[in-house]
Amino acid sequence: MLKITKPSHGAEIDQLQSELLSAVRVSDDEIEAAASNPQLYDRVRLRIAAERERRDVVRSLRGRGWMDVFQSMFGPARSTRWILTAASVMLIVAAGLLFWMSRQARVVDLQSRATPPSQPPVVQPTPKDEATPQPPKERVAPLVVQRGATPEMVTVSAPKQIKKRSRSIVPSDEGSGEIATDFIPLTFTADVTASESGHLVRVRMPRSALVAMGLPMNAERASEFVRADVFYGDDGLARSIRFIQ
Amino acid sequence: MEQWTDISGFATAAALELITHEAVDDELVAAVRAGDESAFEVLFERHRRSVTRLAYRFFYRRDQVEDIVQESFANAYFALGAYRGGQERSFIAWLSRITVRACYDALRRSRRVESVMSELSDEEERSLADKLRFSGKGSDVESLAISRDLADKLLRRLDPDDRVVLSLLNVAELSVAETAEITGWSVSKVKMRSHRARKSLQRVLHRFV
């Protein structure tokens, strides 16, 4: 049945196809009318001009690439090249100098911060202290005080903080091998940093005394002694204390 | 002269041109290369009918055809440096390839842009079916214009490659070898494309049967 219907079906489609394609054919008159348009060549010239202009723009843009920069640098204008080179070198040197100076300033600032601003004048240790037999070495937890702070602002005894600020521990006497903490202000009225003169006395004190200063103390070792430098002002009042290890 | 511009006699025209006008065309091309703009106008006058006729195989609207003619000659102008001439290929064959390429590009562009707008409505489909069945019986201008428009909408559903092959083989009635020459495809590719194009067109037309 398919064999019967398909040829007629296909023939109809072929007929439609040929008629469809012939429908889009145009007559010679139409072709001649379009081809003999007097403005056609003018339009072609306009299109050529537009395309030429576009290509010129593209060419000029391409021409200003790296090759032109290279030629201007190493071409006939050599004075320009040297000026640019010298300016570049000077710029690099200036930048390096600025960086080095800022780095130096930062180092000086850090060093000045590490040194106590009002280091009490060191007095000779008393003969009694020298004669005193040294107790067995103890590990003294470094104590940290904010510099220039009033006594109310003293922060002590947080073990974590102590460990963190242990870097501020500095040798108390050069060559003695001692390590001292920063001075901890003891007075509630005077600013320790404002003191100009006074006396420094090295003492041995029981650990239990640390509690009076708000410092942490191990109760099991309360009977042990620790060494400390106490700074007395001219008025005879103890202003600050530092612990020695 | 008419024999020259008849694209259906493309091979004959090309052969004749080799004998009579080859030197002239090549000389004109050389003159244009040397900067003589008037020589290009002579080339345009000589070949514009051929180009127009070829463009009409792909498009039926006059504005589209004129646009193709302008684009073809402008492209040819800037490609004159690549024209070899001589015995290998005549100027008209070279120009025809440029024209077909311009038509192909225009078909691709129009297919992208008008893919939605070129859809046929139900009424248009009925009208097209009637006109295809009774073609030739009403040969007035309006009927012809409507038939062309509907046929063009139908052909736009084809792939541009299929459209090019159908236009050259069935509308311009070129041979397979001529189509291969003008498109730059191989003969086997033209045959394969022709088969596919017919199948595609049959599928499109199947709904009208």
What does the radius of gyration of chain A's CA atoms come to, in whole angstroms? 48
Could you tell me which residue, A134 or B147, shows the higher pLDDT? B147
Of A23-27, A33-37, A76-80, A102-106, minimum mean pLDDT range: A76-80
Residue A22: list chain B partners with CB under 8 A: 135
Q: Does B71 touch chain A (CB under 8 A)?
A: yes
With a cut of 70, say whether residue A141 has pLDDT above it.
no
Residue A58: list chain B partners with CB under 8 A: none
pLDDT of residue A138: 42
Q: Does B12 touch chain A (CB under 8 A)?
A: no
pLDDT of residue A191: 57
Query: What 3 state SS string does chain A have?
Result: CHHHHHHHHHHHHHHHHHHHHHHCCCCHHHHHHHHCCCCHHHHHHHHHHHHHHHHHHHHHHHHCCHHHHHHHHHCCCHHHHHHHHHHHHHHHHHHHHHHHHHHHHHHHHHHHHHCCCCCCCCCCCCHHHHHCCCCCCCCCCCCCCCCCCCHHHCCCCCHHHHHHHHHHCEECCCCCCCEECCCEECCCCCCHHHCCCEEEEEEEEECHHHHHCCCCCCHHHCCCEEEEEEEEECCCCEEEEEEEC
Binary contact (A34, B44; C-beta < 8 A): no
- Mean pLDDT of the residues in chain A: 68
Question: Distance from first CA to last CA of chain B, Å, rounded?
Answer: 43
Residue contacts between A and B (CB atoms, under 8 Å): 92
Residue A26: list chain B partners with CB under 8 A: 56, 60
CA distance A208 to A226: 10
Grade residue B69 by pLDDT with cuts at 50, 70 and 90. very high
pLDDT of residue A69: 56
Binary contact (A13, B70; C-beta < 8 A): no
Average pLDDT score over residue span B137-156: 69
pLDDT tens track for B13-60: 554 454 455 558 888 898 999 988 889 999 999 999 999 999 998 888
Grade residue A154 by pLDDT with cuts at 50, 70 and 90. very low
Alpha carbon of A41: minimum distance to chain B alpha carbons (Å) = 7
Grade residue A129 by pLDDT with cuts at 50, 70 and 90. very low
Q: Does B36 touch chain A (CB under 8 A)?
A: no
- Interface confidence, given as ipTM, is 0.72
Residue B198: list chain A partners with CB under 8 A: 17
Alpha carbon of A53: minimum distance to chain B alpha carbons (Å) = 12
Could you tell me which residue, B64 or A223, shows the higher pLDDT? B64
Grade residue B95 by pLDDT with cuts at 50, 70 and 90. very high
| Nearest beta carbon to residue A9 from set B48, B69, B209 | B209
Contacts made by residues B75-81, CB under 8 angstroms, sequence distance 24+:
B75/B101, B75/B102, B77/A44, B77/A48, B77/B32, B77/B40, B78/A48, B78/A51, B78/A55, B80/B29, B80/B32, B80/B33, B81/B33
